[in-house]
Structure 1
Amino acid sequence: MSDRDAVRRAYDEMAETYAAERSQGGRGVEILAGFLDTLPERPRVLDAGCGQGTPVLRRLADAGDPVGLDFSGEQLRLASENVPDAPLVRGDMTKLPFRDDAFDAATGFHSLIHVPLDDHATVVEEFARVLRPGGRVLLTEGVEEWSGENPDWLDSGVEMRWDIAGAEATKDQLDRAGFAVEDEWLVVDELADDEVQKPFIEARLED
């Protein structure tokens, strides 16, 4: 089984557990609110790896016209309940099923870190393709490169896998895809052990 299939199966199996553990507030949501303030009125935003739809997709729906994308059918089922008015699409971040220049912005909260390392640059290039000139992206990453798994993540009995490129590699990929990194924050990930901090990276697609 590929890493991608393993991650999809894991999120299908533990969707309810993950939804219960993921915070609905905190510093990450504050950063998202500031990010939304930089966008046009009623922006069209892609939430790539939308999961159960909270808190990110729901917050986007309050401010604009988001589209949620995920490869987990069970996560999309929960998102349809939590954000019933948002269009939801089942798809892969490495081949976004949208036309060029379709969105004002994109978010990728806790999703790029599950994509195989060799495909990270492809995801960033796909964001550049579907964003309009001047479009913005807000991503979460890890500080350093790391790949691994947890056989009992969140005490669910389900194995989860990660492929983290690291902040510097991700910023290099953004630069090569035509983005200018405009801000970066370190935020404690409430689902990680030992209060591990994860970078939030904001970038703008240059005109």
Structure 2
Amino acid sequence: MTEPSFLTTTRTAYDTVAADYEALLRDDLAGNTMDRVVLAAFAELAEGEVADIGCGPGRITAHLAALGLAVFGVDLSPEMVAVARDRHPDLRFEVGSMTGLELPDGGLGGVVAWYSVIHIPPDLQPAVFAEFHRVLAPGGRLLLAFQTGDERRDHTEGYGHRITLTGYRLPPERVTAQLVEAGFEPHATLVRAPEPPNEKTPQAYLLARKPG
């Protein structure tokens, strides 16, 4: 089967920027109180093994591990996975796509998708949420983070490189409705103001639970 073009371009873009992306964002959590608060809440709620889907260079994976979770990372970009393994050799990282996770049904206690569903076209996001639901055990927790809005943004430059990358700003209400359709119970939604100078739009965190 031919791979969808958005997966190919997303992988290529993140392969290109992997090292510079990691260097720029390495210490970003230290300056973002709300990110740390939400991740801490998720760490208290989740039980069992957790997958950080779209983990990039592994900074969120490592933070969750430091909070006491048994966590591993999955990313579409082999270069991002290589950087993550180099930066965090004590943690597990795998190459994979959220559109078809090579994980068993009901095996996880938690899934985190931290600014990673933003590259999935909106019409395909319900299938991704259904995949998250599939791999979670009953009672498992899901945490999403994304920029709010309702528009497509095409990027030709990023982290000092020429790239081709599409991202989507998402309305929390629509994402919540899609999660409900996938079988999740919404738990909490938080929208915060952007943090200058890097953020231009409000940011959303969405917690949900697989019933059971």
- Range moving further from structure 2, 111-120 or 43-52: 111-120
The one-letter code sitting in structure 1 at the alignment partner of 2:35 is: G
Shift of 1:141: 2.4
Q: Is residue 30 of structure 1 aligned with residue 31 of structure 2? A: no
Offset of 1:15 from its aligned partner? 0.8
Matching of residue 57 in structure 1 with residue 75 in structure 2: no
Which consecutive residues of structure 1, in runs of 5 or more, have no partner in the other structure? none
Cα–Cα, structure 1 residues 175 and 92, in superposed 2: closer, same or farther, change >3 Å? same
Q: 1:188: how far off?
A: 4.9
CA distance in 2, matches of 1:89, 1:194: 29
Q: Which whole-Å CA distance do the structure 1 matches of 2:199 and 2:90 have between them?
A: 37
The alpha-carbon distance between structure 1 residues 195 and 188, as it changes in their structure 2 partners (threshold 3 A), is farther
Tell me the CA shift for residue 190 of structure 1.
5.5
Contact 1:52 1:79 in 2 (8 A): yes
Deviation at 1:153, TM superposition (A): 2.3
1:17 counterpart (17, 20, 29): 20
Contact between 1:120 and 1:165, CA under 8 Å: does it hold in 2? no
SS of the aligned residue for 2:206 comes to strand
List per-residue Cα deviations over 1:123-155 (Å, max 9, x = no partner).
100111000111000001232221121211244
Moved more, 128-137 or 61-70: 61-70
- The answer as to whether partners of 2:147 and 2:201 remain within 8 angstroms in 1 is no
TM-score w.r.t. structure 1 length?
Answer: 0.90
Count of residues paired in the alignment:
204
Q: d(CA) in 2 for partners of 1:183 and 1:64?
A: 20
Q: Percent identity, please.
A: 28
State the secondary structure of the residue aligned to 2:153: strand
- SS of structure 2 residue aligned to 1:196: coil
Q: Indicate which of 155, 164, 186 corresponds to 1:181.
A: 186
**Paired letter, 2:167:** W
Root-mean-square deviation (CA, aligned residues, Å) is 1.9
How far apart in 1 are the matches of 2:6 and 2:75?
A: 16
Contact 1:114 1:164 in 2 (8 A): no
User: Are 1:141 and 2:133 counterparts?
Assistant: no
Residues 114-193 of structure 1: pairs in structure 2 closer than 5 A: 114-188=119-193
Q: Tell me, which stretches of 5 or more residues in structure 2 are unaligned?
A: none
Tell me, in whole angstroms, the C-alpha distance in 2 between the residues paired with 1:190 and 1:13. 26
